[in-house]
Amino acid sequence: MRKIYLLFTYILLITVVRSGAQTFNVTVKNGFGSGTYNIGDSVYILANPGPANTIFDGWTTNGAILSDSFSTGTLLKNLSADVTLTPIYTPATAWTAVLDSINGSVVYHYFPGPADKLRGVIIFFHGKNGNAKEWFQSVEGRNFLNYSVAKGYGVLATESTDRILGGTAPFQWNNNFTVATNPDIKNVGKILDTLTNRGLINYATHIYAVGYSQSGNFASILSAIKKFSGTCLLNTPGSTTAINVTTTPTYWIPSRNDVFEDSLKLSKCKLNYKILTDRGISGVLKVHEPFPVTPNRFTRIAGIDSATSVRIYSLLLSQGYFDSKSFLNFNPAADTSWTILFQLADTTITKAMAIEIANQVFICYTEDRFHSDEVYQVIQFFGMFAKWPAGILEEDNQNNLTVYPNPTSDYLYLKAEKNIIEVRMYDLLGKEVLIQSDSDISYIDLTGLNKGLYITVFRAVNNQSIIKKIIKQ
């Protein structure tokens, strides 16, 4: 018995040594994260900015598991083989926003097509002390807008009425819950009416709201009263009063370390998400997690090349602002004296660049800053409600996807030119009822679903999405 035990111990030790010594190569083309890692490691990767007139549209993963295949910054999980990751850049038409004056308000807008061809219109609401223009000029705001326009959405931003009327800060949105008592709701209504009268949008156009920080309360109130098709609330829980009555599907993106003006912001987001979904209204809550500062992080800022980005990274490193894995080891909002380092160290860095550099640092720490990391997921979420209930259209099936039998009582089988790697099913209220992911999905088990009509989004390996109506009988 002792010999058997010693033999087992010897085999176990050999297995552990071999396992511990096993390494794999990660190659990230046009991005950061390449290297040799141990089996089971998780690796943070970040895409470089794409060529001019393109949008980032996901990663080719070759079967690797990413925390988010459609975010420029993502996490490669549980490494078990050599991996090559390549960012996908899709051509996008260059565009310039129109500066307009409507009802005495500054309005920036752009519509990529005629009213009857738009996927919808997204209205962006600034945070406290913000303005409409910064959405179209800031790095992260412009990234979000570029992706939205490329996917067929019109974009629009205006300003709170207290900014229009002048006076002093804080320039923030009114949170009264009736049209009669809320000048900002009246103003947005007049802007939409004017655009409708001009023929830029029509009464069938789906309207969406993006509220950031302080504007989140107003965005959720406006969406509830005007019955918008969807809302995104970033770094804000929104108005609980509105969430208790709204029928608008809502996507929350709280940041893990965001305690700006409210240390309970994250827990309030979770509570409002639960209130909404318990009422049967579609909702998503995606917490924005900390990300290491990487040497290529700052290349997304206009005028900063890869060499300058590395110098900025090295400066932060030399000052002791990182832990051993390049995560920030302090809250950048607690002491902003570090923000002057960049201009002192490099005279080519302007004040505007320094502000954007600081924004990227805040985003990595996940303090209160707008970011575009979730733009693909938000636009996908909005897209579901651009099709329902207005006709429940199906997208062109360029992948020659066949699903059968339909209707079905148990299993749905798939056949397509390109592998289907993800399936998401939604009921007619927009609530996600099934999700399945694999390298090549050939069938779906529907036995656990109730009888009824389901909107189903099939995503192929080439990132094309196909939407179909599936009937469970």
pLDDT digits (tens, 9 = 90+) for 434-448: 888 888 899 999 988
Mean pLDDT for the stretch of residues 239-247? 97
Mean pLDDT for the stretch of residues 336-364? 88
Q: Is residue 434 part of a domain?
A: yes
Q: With helix as H, strand as E and coil as C, how does 389-402 read?
A: CCCCCCCCCCCCCE
CA distance 251 to 285: 6
- In angstroms, how far is the first alpha carbon of the chain from the final one? 60
Q: Is the dihedral of CA 106, 111, 114, 119 positive or negative?
A: negative
Contact 366, 374 (CB under 8 A): no
- The tally of CA atoms less than 13 A away on the side-chain side of residue 168 is 0
Q: Is residue 263 part of a domain?
A: yes
More confident of the two residues 253 and 432 = 253
Residue 433: predicted pLDDT: 86
pLDDT at residue 269 greater than cutoff 90? yes
Q: What total of structural domains would you count in the chain?
A: 4
Mean pLDDT for the stretch of residues 99-113? 97
Task: Identify the domain containing residue 122 by its residue range.
Answer: 98-289+369-386
CA distance 70 to 178: 38
Please tell me whether residues 268 and 323 are part of one structural domain: no
- Cα pseudo-dihedral 200, 204, 205, 209, rounded to 10: 130
CA distance 264 to 429: 30
Mean pLDDT for the stretch of residues 350-368? 95
Please tell me whether residues 149 and 198 are part of one structural domain: yes
Looking at every residue in the chain, the average pLDDT score rounds to 89
Q: Is residue 80 part of a domain?
A: yes
Residue 388: predicted pLDDT: 47
Please tell me whether residues 106 and 200 are part of one structural domain: yes
- pLDDT tens-digit map of 141-184: 999 999 999 999 999 999 999 877 766 667 789 999 999 999 99
Please tell me whether residues 352 and 377 are part of one structural domain: no
- 8 burial (CB, 10 Å; 0-12 / 13-18 / 19+) is exposed
Mean pLDDT for the stretch of residues 78-106? 96
Q: Is residue 396 part of a domain?
A: no
Q: How many Å is the Cα radius of gyration of the chain?
A: 24
| Buried-exposed string 450-462: b where 16+ CB fall within 10 A, e elsewhere | eeeebbbbbbbbe
Q: Is residue 355 part of a domain?
A: yes
**Count of all residues that appear for the chain in the document:** 473
Q: Is residue 5 part of a domain?
A: no
174-182 long-range contacts, CB within 8 A, separation 24+: 174/218, 175/217, 175/218, 175/221, 175/239, 177/221, 177/225, 177/239, 177/241, 177/242, 178/225, 179/225, 182/221
Residue 429: predicted pLDDT: 60
Residues 6+ apart with CB under 8 A from 21: none
* 3-state SS, residue 143: helix
- pLDDT tens-digit map of 365-411: 999 999 999 999 999 899 887 654 433 444 545 678 889 998 888 89
Q: How many helices (H) and strands (E) does the chain have?
A: 12, 22
Contact 148, 111 (CB under 8 A): no
Last residue of one domain, picked from the residues 331, 357, 386: 386
Mean pLDDT for the stretch of residues 226-249? 96
pLDDT at residue 18 greater than cutoff 60? no
CA distance 239 to 205: 25
| pTM reported for the whole predicted model | 0.80
State phi, psi for 312 to the nearest 5 degrees.
-65, -45
* CATH number of the domain residue 119 falls in: 3.40.50.1820
Structure tokens at 228: 């918008």
CA distance 118 to 110: 11
Sheet of 411-415, strand order: 402-404, 411-415, 443-445
CA distance 26 to 33: 7
pLDDT band at 21 (very low <50, low <70, confident <90, very high): low
